[in-house]
Structure 1
Amino acid sequence: MRSSYTETGESMRITTQGTSHGNHTYNRFNSSTLVEVDDVSYLIDAGAPANGLMIRANKEFHKLQAVFITHMHEDHTGGLPGVIKSLLKRPQDNQHTDIFLPEERAISQLEGWLKAMHLKWPSSIISLKSIEEGPIFEDDKITMKAVGNNHIKSSNKPVSFSFILNSSEKQVVFTGDLSQDFSDFPVIVREEPSDICICEMTHFLPKTALPILKGCPIKYLVLNHIHDPWHGEGEETLKEILKSLPYPFAIAHDGDVFEI
């Protein structure tokens, strides 16, 4: 485990639990990122084995306030039933988790699978909610806003999202998966300072993203959802391509920790 970025202020700890693309690889699991603010936590995507990685890191499930799913592809949702099982297994007083899904129809479909797994469902300690663009969640630690993107094209309303997390005066952006031309990279990242931007690196060429990224007021860029060419020795190639960025960046690995 590596700690790559630290800034003073109220405690926020971001762990890139799984950093692979659509498939597991020899050194990366599917997408899941755990955000801890003081004594509570939030999960961005739940690719397998999200709950196993939380258990291995000794994370307490009753502290999980919300799960935010960027889109319904299996590499971002395959571990969600396991996360729900872990939440249900040893509930504590006043425990509750909101789970946000990017498509309304996914709620009934997920519930069917939970019942097929013989879990105790429905449950008063978990709420399933669908995502609409705009503010979707607020508690006394964070606010979360959803911005639609074009990773999954839809003629009606967005079914794939980027997320903007604000806590105190900090802003963290999770791009989720984007389109091949990088045109849906969130506008807010181009216009407003982000303490950390966690950006996927699979569905577009780095040379396509570089001109846009160079113009963004990002304090620290974390590259996640890493495509095969950038694994192993390819990591140095990616660093060389992006070396002209005017701010520091890191290529995330499973278990990396970033504190702001």
Structure 2
Amino acid sequence: MRSFRKLAFVCAFLSALVPGAALAQDFKVTLLGTGSPPPVMNRFGPSILVEAGDKKFLFDAGRGAMQRLVQTKTRWQDVDGVFFTHLHSDHVIGFPDVWLTGWLVAPGRNRPLEVWGPPGTEKMLSHLVQAFEFDIGFRISDDKARPEGVVINAHNIDPGVVYEQNGVKITAIKVDHAPVEPAYGYRIDYNGRSVVLSGDTRTSDNLIRAAERVDLLVHEVVSPETFSRAGVNLERTKSVIAHHVTPEQAGEIFARTKPKLAVYSHIVLPTATNDDLISGTRKTYDGPLEVGEDLMVIEVGKDVVVRRSSSPKQ
């Protein structure tokens, strides 16, 4: 009993000393990038860091993922692997930076990088290794970078449980981002808590079933108003909206799944305002809702706590 009280005191002391500090049992989600293809400074490309126990995983690696990792003070050599939702360029274009810079810059990665994704992932990454063949050889011979750290272990995966270790279970969910086939969302379970990341999708019954009453549902969204403000022609606007979920549709999804907290990420277009997104959502959903922003941290435990970053985003 005395030892238990001492441990409880130490945990309370550490939490008070460093507000929001992650202890070993925390389940923490950090939105590294909440944007979409347009290059803007406040919303980098889609990427989410999930920390469960002693495991750290990236879900997608869009533009600027490496810089955002640095801003969160996450040691890139501690990232245990990367999961791709699908192979659209805005979701993978930051991967070479995570892979190569995370290997090269001391203290660099000293173990292979595990990568999971839909069919096509292995082929894409094998070509990426070929593309950087000259640089890799040079770094190993002249910079003495450890050769095992540049190895990619790529895994093409099917829907279902794709990772289960140390109490962390990750399930790939087939979603509807046609004509991209397949595209995945992911459910992460740890310590009795659950998080679902939608990836890019239309309204998906598979996702709705997987996300029922989860602690946290991070969902993509498209704002039609942003296209008219940007002067995008009607044909292109309709094409993009057809592959995503509007705020009203997202509200219907949240109303059906009833998460403890719903959060928007992968915001299309990234110039969307909170009012663009929230007003439409409230037509169909009146529960807990946050518009995600880069470097937002969501701590998932008995309560779901949102911490907005005060760090500069440019």
User: So what's the TM-score if we normalise by structure 1?
Assistant: 0.83
Alpha-carbon distance in 1 for matches of 2:276, 2:103: 44
Alpha-carbon distance in 2 for matches of 1:143, 1:51: 25
**Amino-acid identity (%):** 24
Aligned partner of 1:178: which letter? T
Distance verdict in 2 for CA 1:36–1:100, change over 3 Å: same
Alpha-carbon distance in 1 for matches of 2:41, 2:160: 37
More helix as a share of residues: 2
Q: Does 1:132 align with 2:154?
A: no
When the two chains are superposed, the root-mean-square deviation of aligned CA atoms in Å is 2.7
Alpha-carbon distance in 1 for matches of 2:291, 2:48: 14
Distance verdict in 2 for CA 1:177–1:129, change over 3 Å: same
| 8 Å CA contact retained: 1:61, 1:87 | yes
Q: Does 1:29 align with 2:36?
A: no
CA shift for structure 1 position 37: 2.3
| 8 Å CA contact retained: 2:208, 2:257 | no
CA shift for structure 1 position 195: 0.5
Offset from partner CA, 1:181-205 (integer Å, 9 cap, x none): x245603245x32110010012232
2:129 counterpart residue number: 111
1:188 counterpart residue number: 209
| 8 Å CA contact retained: 1:99, 1:127 | yes
Aligned partner of 2:94: which letter? G
Secondary structure at 1:55 match in 2: helix
Distance verdict in 2 for CA 1:107–1:26, change over 3 Å: closer
Alpha-carbon distance in 2 for matches of 1:97, 1:118: 15
Q: Does 1:169 align with 2:185?
A: no
| 8 Å CA contact retained: 1:107, 1:130 | no
1:248 counterpart residue number: 288
Aligned partner of 1:194: which letter? V
User: So what's the TM-score if we normalise by structure 2?
Assistant: 0.70
Alpha-carbon distance in 1 for matches of 2:147, 2:53: 29
Distance verdict in 2 for CA 1:159–1:65, change over 3 Å: same
| 8 Å CA contact retained: 2:220, 2:245 | no
| 8 Å CA contact retained: 2:29, 2:49 | yes
Query: Of the two, which has the highest radius of gyration?
Result: 2
| 8 Å CA contact retained: 1:81, 1:114 | no
Alpha-carbon distance in 1 for matches of 2:298, 2:130: 36
| 8 Å CA contact retained: 1:39, 1:63 | no
Distance verdict in 2 for CA 1:54–1:27, change over 3 Å: same
1:69 counterpart residue number: 84
Higher relative contact order (CA 8 A, sep 6+): 1
1:221 counterpart residue number: 262
1:101 counterpart residue number: 117
CA shift for structure 1 position 228: 2.7
Alpha-carbon distance in 1 for matches of 2:200, 2:176: 9
